[in-house]
Amino acid sequence: MSQTDSLSAVDFEVSATAGDARTGTLSIGETEIRTPNLFPVLNFYGGGTKNSVYGGGIHRTVKEFMISADRVGAGDYSEFFDGVLTSVSSLTDYNVTRERYEDYIAAPIKERDVFSPFSGTLFIDSGGFKFLNNDGIDGSNFQVNIDQKTAYEIQRRMGADIIVNLDRPIAPDDSHEQRIEKARKTGENIEEFLRLSSDFDGARFLTLHGYNYSMMDAFLTEITKYCSAETLCSSFDGIALGSLVPKKDDRSALIDAVIDCRRVLSDWGFDDLPLHVLGISSRAIPLLTALGVDSFDSSTYLQTAINGGYFVSLMETVNVSEADFEQCNCPVCSSDLLRGWMEDKENAPYQKDRLGAVAMHNLIVQKREMAKIRDCISRSETEPLIQYIESTVAQDKPTREFAHRVVNHSLGGYSL
């Protein structure tokens, strides 16, 4: 991929395809991540200091897994943190003081000693979604107005490998005028973002919003009033499809959006760029991957754990009190220490540790499924991926019809 404005070597190489699905490698500077892949959402800064791995409750425990901390058994979990997504907006989620906030953005994450074992691809979202109803982030005794300049400054200072422009996500009830107005503001931001980040040495992803072809096309038409299609194409290294969170439980709408997104990207000449879908729950991943999505981010592993949910598979969740740890060979379930935490909360130092261990297990389940999906695609024929979908998503009655639809649309269909 040519990088006219960006200085770094960003490369997205597709090594195999199966129908519309593709597998490859996204290399950004020193980092490399295989696609399709899932970026777990994680808050690096959660109100604490260096001594508490910068805190954040259950996030802290997950970070300790990430850095192989002694407290969680010092196991090597790095393969599950080959990519992580965090958001600008998470910086003040814990009601921090200005002093602490300043400290958080004072050094790149990977350059801090405590996080040095982490070497994965760091994706920092601009947090546009959180700023839908207000323009800033709030600390205990201060407020930072977030504009494109500030958002980029924070992304840069935190040491991101992938950044997106500050966007204005649309909502399902928006009128056409409201959507165009948001696209216009996003367009202004993009112009500024490209100017500010011209010497950024990571990958820049363009946010795209819309639920169908016409909406996305209208969005691109509006933003190209600020920045030509050629410039967009040569300056951005990837596309981040947003605004789908309100539709995350509507499989049909998600599939429509992704199918249309790929068509729009093809018609606008962006189809060689990696496509990331922002904030989608993990169960949709196999289907969206089959449609050609290259990466996802999700906090499902963590949110499910907070509610006591333990993944038996990508499709099945049980309460952790009913889980059979013997059936799982992941490093968390294989560790006496961690199994003890999950079995009985009395064993765990804190409740967050019990749930943190469950979250880590859940993430491993997801990441292993991603690896299986990559393996299916890398065989360069559709049958393995069809079989994967048939044995997972299609076994679940409510999602069955969507599984068939995707197989028919993107994988050549069934022989009936």
Site residues, other proteins (CB under 8 A): 394, 400-401, 404-405, 408-409, 413-416
d(CA 186, CA 179): 10
CB of 157 closer than 8 Å to CB of 108: yes
Least distance in Å: CB of 402 to other proteins?
9
Q: How far is the CB of 406 from other proteins (least distance, A)?
A: 10
The amino acid present at 129, given as its one-letter code, is F
Please, which residue, 348 or 407, has the CB nearer to other proteins?
Answer: 407
d(CA 154, CA 164): 12
State the amino acid at position 355 in one-letter form. Answer: L
Residue placing its CB nearer to other proteins in the complex, 137 or 394: 394
Q: Which is nearer to other proteins, 343 or 390 (CB)?
A: 390
In the complex, least distance from residue 401 CB atom to other proteins, rounded to whole angstroms? 6
Q: How far is the CB of 196 from other proteins (least distance, A)?
A: 46
Distances from the Cα of 262 to the Cα of 155, 181, 273, angstroms: 27, 24, 11
Task: Using alpha carbons, select from 392, 411, 394 the residue that is nearest to residue 403.
Answer: 394
- Please report how close the Cβ of residue 400 comes to other proteins at its closest, in angstroms: 5
Q: Which is nearer to other proteins, 103 or 250 (CB)?
A: 250
Nearer Cβ to other proteins (183/394): 394
Rounded Cα distance, 72 and 372, in Å: 27
The two structure tokens encoding residue 133: 């109803």
Nearer Cβ to other proteins, position 152 or 402? 402
Shortest distance in whole angstroms from residue 374 CB to other proteins: 25
Give the nearer residue to other proteins in terms of CB position, either 262 or 374.
262
Cα first-last separation, the chain: 41
Give me the least distance between CB of 41 and other proteins, in Å please: 32
Of the two residues 143 and 408, which places its CB atom closer to other proteins in the complex?
408
> Closest CB to other proteins among 194 and 389?
389
Task: Tell me the closest approach of the beta carbon of residue 271 to other proteins, in angstroms.
Answer: 23
Cα distance between residue 210 and residue 216, in whole Å = 5
Contacts of 138 (CB under 8 A, 6+ apart): 92, 95
Distance CA 298, CA 282 (A): 7
Closest contact distance (angstroms) between CB of 19 and other proteins is 14
